[in-house]
Chain A
Amino acid sequence: SQQGEEDPQALSIQEGENATMNCSYKTSINNLQWYRQNSGRGLVHLILIRSNEREKHSGRLRVTLDTSKKSSSLLITASRAADTASYFCATDAYYGQNFVFGPGTRLSVLP
């Protein structure tokens, strides 16, 4: 079963525009993480946000977390063609402490 679900499934934007992806989850969490996956490669960790945090920044990335709505968003500002990838959110599972991944958002940044 998937704890997290990203939205939209696919997103296509022009270089320089901002990209926003959302993640909704079903049960209470301790942590939420965002990962990027380039085609044919493994996932790369972007940001971890804890349940007592509301917002985190890393370079052009901004992640928000709203535990009351059980949702998170990933904003990529001033996107570049190199940002083209799939983006996944991962949340704590209810059992153990292993992260459960959603199906991802496929982002295409057009030059």
Chain B
Amino acid sequence: NAGVTQTPKFQVLKTGQSMTLQCAQDMNHNSMYWYRQDPGMGLRLIYYSASEGTTDKGEVPNGYNVSRLNKREFSLRLESAAPSQSSVYFCASSESTGGTPLHFGNGTRLTVT
């Protein structure tokens, strides 16, 4: 039982390059999320998808786009990477957005030079 799988685990980009972070869950969860984690800041929500076919902005959406490809998959795209986007990115899923536990992937460490 894989849970939430994120790829890649590490990525180095140059400023201005683009990339897509992939996330898939096998728990038949309705809701999926993208967070970034920076030292001393906790986790901040970038975008979420309450259910298949919907996406909404979180606390820090600027510079990112998302796609809920199907119920299992939720991708995060950086169109033009900036050094400020260097962070650890976590994908998570839950049964719903209404107070159910989040299940996290193991993260993608992104460095933008």
Binding site for B on A (CB under 8 A): 1-2, 4, 30-31, 33, 35, 40-45, 48, 50, 88, 90, 92, 96-104
Binding site for A on B (CB under 8 A): 4, 33, 35, 40-45, 48, 56, 58-59, 90, 92, 97-107
CB-CB under 8 A from B101, the residues of chain A are 33, 45, 48
CB-CB under 8 A from A45, the residues of chain B are 101-103
Compute the total of residue contacts between A and B using a CB distance below 8 Å. Answer: 60
Q: Identify whether the interface residues of A are mostly helix, strand, loop, or mixed.
A: strand
Verify B97–A98 contact, CB threshold 8 A. Answer: yes
Could you tell me the distance in whole angstroms from the C-beta of A60 to the nearest C-beta in chain B?
19
Known: A98-B33, A98-B45, A101-B42. A43 touches B90 (CB 8 A): yes
Could you tell me the distance in whole angstroms from the C-beta of A95 to the nearest C-beta in chain B?
10
Task: Report Cα–Cα, A102/B44, bound state, in Å.
Answer: 9
Task: Report Cα–Cα, A30/B100, bound state, in Å.
Answer: 11
CB-CB under 8 A from B99, the residues of chain A are 30-31, 48, 50, 92, 97
CB-CB under 8 A from A42, the residues of chain B are 4, 90, 92, 104-107
Verify B43–A101 contact, CB threshold 8 A. Answer: yes
Could you tell me the distance in whole angstroms from the C-beta of A29 to the nearest C-beta in chain B?
9
CB-CB under 8 A from A43, the residues of chain B are 43, 90, 92, 102, 104
CB-CB under 8 A from B104, the residues of chain A are 42-44
CB-CB under 8 A from A100, the residues of chain B are 45, 59
CB-CB under 8 A from A101, the residues of chain B are 35, 42-44
Smallest CB-CB A-B distances: 5 pairs: A42-B104, A45-B101, A31-B99, A101-B42, A101-B43
| Apart from A1-B59, A88-B42: 7 A-B pairs, beta carbons within 8 A | A41-B106, A43-B90, A45-B103, A50-B99, A96-B56, A98-B58, A101-B35
CB-CB under 8 A from A4, the residues of chain B are 42
Task: Report Cα–Cα, A43/B44, bound state, in Å.
Answer: 13
Task: Report Cα–Cα, A99/B44, bound state, in Å.
Answer: 9
Q: Residue of B at shortest CB range from A43? A: B104
